[in-house]
C-alpha cells in the first residue's frame, strides 16, 4: 500500500472504493514502454476484490481490499474518508474519449433521412448538406448557448464512464467563429470536473464562401487562426480533415507547419473516405491519425515504428451505414497502437457513449473486450499525450474512475445501448452518482 505523499496527507476528498469485484488497473507487466501494441493491448492488470484510494485529485493506491483495510493510514483516518462498497461492480480507469466534435447546435436530421433513402455521406455533402450545413447555426449562436451545448455533452459522457474528452472546434470556419467555439469548449471545461483537451479544427472543410479558393482559406487557418489560438492558449492541438472533398496532404503540411511553429500538437482525420498518404505527415510527430478505414499496408508498416496512435471511431461507420470498417485486427497484429473514441458529432456519429463504441469494436472490428477497454483508456491517453496522467489506475495518476454495475468487465461491451455505468470519479470528484 502506498502512503499519500506529504502534500496529500490531508483527508480532504479522500475516497476509498472497496470490495471491487474486478479492479482493472491497466498496469502492464511486459515492461514495454510506449502505447500498447499487439498482445500488450489485452492486458488489463485485474485485481480481484480490489480497492482504490484517492486523495484530492490523485490516486494513492490500488490493491486488494484486505490490504487496504490493514493499512495504518487508512485505519487511522477511516472515519474521515468517504468509503464506498463496490461489491458486484467493476472499476476501470475513466474512459479517454480522444476524438469529439461537441460544438454544434442542431442534429442533422435531413442528412439522416437522406442517408436512409440511399444517399451517401459524400453525396449529401456535395448537395449542400454535411459539415457545411452545421456551420450557419454555430456562426449565429452566442457563446453561452454553445457553452451549454458542450457542457451537456460532457455530462452525458461522464454518465457513461468518460473522464477525459478531446473537444474540437470545426463548425465555425471563420476566425471569429472558431475562436468562439474554442472559448465555448473552455467555458464548459471549467464547469466540468473532468479533463478537456481542446483542438482547433479550422480545416474541417472549405467553407462555402471560399469555394474554389481553398488555398486562400488554408492561408487564413495558417496565418490567422493558428497564431491567435496559440497566443490565447485556446487549444493544445490542431486537426485537419485530410481526405477526398476536404483538404489535401499539401494543405495539411502547411497547416501542420504553422501549428508546430506556434508550439501546438497535431492530429488528423485521415483515410475515412479514401486513402490518405500518411508518410509525408509523419515528420510532424502526429499524435493520432483518426478513422483509418482505407489505410494502406505500407502506411500500416510505417505506423508500427511510430508513437502515432491510430484512433478508430466505429460509431461513424455504424451511423453512416457503411459496409467498410477500419482494419482493426490487421493494425493490432501488425503492432500499431490503436485507440477507440466516439467521434461525437451531428453528422457521422451522434453518440456520447464509449460503452457503445466498445460494443461496436467487439462486434464489428473483432477486437476483444479487453483490447477495446485498453484502446479506450490507456491508448486514448497516449493519443492525447496524457499518458503520464491518464489511462490507468496507478499511484500518482489522476483519480479518474468509471464504476460499472456489472460482475465481469466483458459486460461493459456486451450490454448494447444500455448504460450500466453507476458513477464516474473525475479528478477525485463524483458528480451525479446514480448509486451509493
d(CA 186, CA 391): 22
Q: Quick one: which of 172, 193, 327, 346 contacts ligand NIG (CB under 6 A)?
A: 346
**131 is an interface residue for ligand NIG by CB under 6 A:** yes
CB of 249 to Fe ion, least distance (A): 18
Q: Name the residue whose CB lies closest to ligand NIG.
A: 347
Q: For the beta carbon of residue 142, count every other beta carbon within 10 angstroms.
A: 10
Half-sphere exposure of 290 (CA within 13 A, CB side): 28
Position of minimal CB gap to Fe ion: 343
State how far the Cα of 161 lies from the Cα of 342, in Å rounded to an integer.
12
**Judged by CB, which is closer to ligand NIG: 21, or 177?**
177
Among Fe ion, ligand NIG, none, the one that 309 touches (CB under a kind-dependent 5 to 8 A) is: none
- Total residues binding Fe ion (CB under 5 A): 1
Output the smallest distance, CB 100 to Fe ion, in A: 8
* 348 contact choice in Fe ion, ligand NIG, none (CB below 5 to 8 Å, kind-dependent): ligand NIG
Classify residue 85 by its DSSP letter.
E
Minimum CB distance to Fe ion, residue 101 (Å)? 6
Interface residue with Fe ion among 239, 293, 343, 398 (CB under 5 A) is 343
With respect to Fe ion, which residue has the nearer C-beta, 344 or 423? Answer: 344
Cell numbers given for 166: 478531446
Using the rule CB under 5 A, give the single segment among 66-74, 135-143, 192-200, 343-351 that binds Fe ion.
343-351
Residues 99, 32: contact at Cβ < 8 Å? Answer: no
- Give me the 231-270 binding string for ligand NIG, x by CB under 6 A, dash otherwise: ----------x---------------------------x-
317 part of the interface to ligand NIG, by CB under 6 A: no
Torsion of CA 247, 202, 228, 179, to 10 degrees: 170
CB of 411 to ligand NIG, least distance (A): 28
Helix (H), strand (E) at residue 424: strand 421-425
Among 236, 272, 288, 351, binds ligand NIG (CB under 6 A): 272
Give the number of C-alpha atoms closer than 13 A to the C-alpha of residue 264, restricted to the C-beta side: 29
HSE-up of residue 66 (Cα within 13 Å, Cβ side): 3
CA-to-CA distance for 382 and 385, rounded, in angstroms?
5
Chain length of the chain: 436
Identify the H or E element spanning 18: strand 15-24
Q: Which of 434, 435, 429, 377 is nearest to 191 (CA)?
A: 429
Closest CA to 308 of 273, 330, 284, 328: 284
Q: Residue 134 touches which of ligand NIG, Fe ion, none (CB < 5 to 8 A by kind)?
A: ligand NIG
The stretch near ligand NIG (CB under 6 A) out of 251-259, 322-330, 341-349, 400-408 is: 341-349
d(CA 183, CA 169): 9
Find the part of the chain contacting Fe ion (CB under 5 A) among 56-64, 106-114, 339-347, 388-396: 339-347
The answer to whether residue 343 forms part of the interface with ligand NIG (CB under 6 A) is yes
Supply the minimum distance, in Å, between the C-beta of residue 185 and ligand NIG. Answer: 16
Strand-strand pairing, 421-425 and 401-404 = antiparallel
Positions touching ligand NIG (CB under 6 A) are: 101, 130-131, 134, 241, 269, 272, 316, 343, 345-349
Residues engaged in binding Fe ion (CB under 5 A): 343
Amino acid at each position: 500500500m502506498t502512503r499519500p505523499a506529504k502534500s496529500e496527507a490531508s483527508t480532504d476528498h479522500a475516497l476509498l472504493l472497496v470490495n471491487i469485484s474486478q479492479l482493472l488497473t491497466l498496469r502492464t507487466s511486459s515492461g514495454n514502454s510506449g502505447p500498447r501494441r499487439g498482445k500488450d493491448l489485452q492486458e488489463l492488470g485485474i485485481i480481484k476484490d480490489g480497492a482504490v484510494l484517492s486523495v484530492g485529485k490523485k490516486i494513492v493506491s490500488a490493491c486488494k481490499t484486505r490490504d487496504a483495510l490493514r493499512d495504518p493510514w487508512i485505519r487511522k483516518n477511516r472515519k474521515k474518508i468517504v468509503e464506498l462498497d463496490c461489491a458486484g461492480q467493476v472499476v476501470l480507469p475513466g474512459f479517454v474519449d480522444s476524438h469529439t466534435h461537441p460544438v454544434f447546435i442542431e442534429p442533422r436530421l435531413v442528412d439522416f433521412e437522406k442517408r436512409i433513402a440511399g444517399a451517401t455521406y459524400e453525396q449529401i455533402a456535395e448537395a449542400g448538406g454535411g459539415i457545411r450545413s452545421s456551420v450557419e447555426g454555430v456562426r449565429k449562436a452566442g457563446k453561452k448557448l454553445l457553452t451549454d451545448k458542450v457542457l451537456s455533452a460532457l455530462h452525458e459522457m461522464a454518465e457513461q464512464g468518460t473522464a477525459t474528452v478531446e473537444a474540437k472546434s470545426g463548425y465555425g470556419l471563420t476566425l471569429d467563429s472558431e475562436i468562439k467555439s474554442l472559448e465555448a469548449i473552455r467555458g464548459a471545461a471549467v464547469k466540468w470536473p473532468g479533463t478537456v483537451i481542446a483542438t482547433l479544427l479550422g480545416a474541417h472543410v472549405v467553407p462555402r464562401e471560399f469555394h474554389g479558393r481553398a488555398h486562400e482559406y488554408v492561408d487564413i487557418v495558417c496565418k490567422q487562426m493558428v497564431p491567435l489560438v496559440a497566443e490565447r492558449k485556446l487549444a493544445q492541438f490542431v486537426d485537419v480533415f485530410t481526405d477526398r472533398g476536404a483538404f489535401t496532404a499539401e494543405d495539411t503540411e502547411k497547416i501542420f507547419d504553422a501549428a508546430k511553429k506556434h508550439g501546438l500538437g497535431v492530429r488528423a482525420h485521415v483515410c475515412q473516405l479514401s486513402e490518405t498518404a500518411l508518410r509525408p505527415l509523419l515528420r510532424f510527430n502526429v499524435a493520432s491519425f483518426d478513422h483509418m478505414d482505407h489505410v494502406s499496408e505500407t502506411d500500416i508498416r510505417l505506423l508500427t515504428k511510430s508513437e502515432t496512435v491510430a484512433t478508430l471511431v466505429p460509431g461513424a461507420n455504424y451511423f453512416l451505414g457503411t459496409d467498410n470498417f477500419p482494419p482493426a485486427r490487421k493494425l493490432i497484429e501488425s503492432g500499431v497502437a490503436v485507440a477507440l473514441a466516439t467521434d461525437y458529432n451531428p453528422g457521422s456519429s451522434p453518440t456520447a457513449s464509449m460503452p457503445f463504441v466498445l460494443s461496436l469494436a467487439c462486434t464489428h472490428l473483432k477486437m476483444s473486450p479487453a483490447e477495446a477497454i485498453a484502446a479506450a483508456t490507456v491508448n486514448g491517453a497516449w493519443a492525447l499525450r496524457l499518458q503520464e496522467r491518464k489511462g490507468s489506475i496507478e499511484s500518482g495518476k489522476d483519480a479518474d474512475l468509471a464504476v460499472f454495475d456489472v460482475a465481469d468487465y466483458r459486460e461493459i461491451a456486451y450490454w448494447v445501448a444500455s448504460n450500466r455505468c453507476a458513477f464516474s470519479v473525475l479528478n477525485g470528484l463524483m458528480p451525479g452518482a446514480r448509486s451509493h
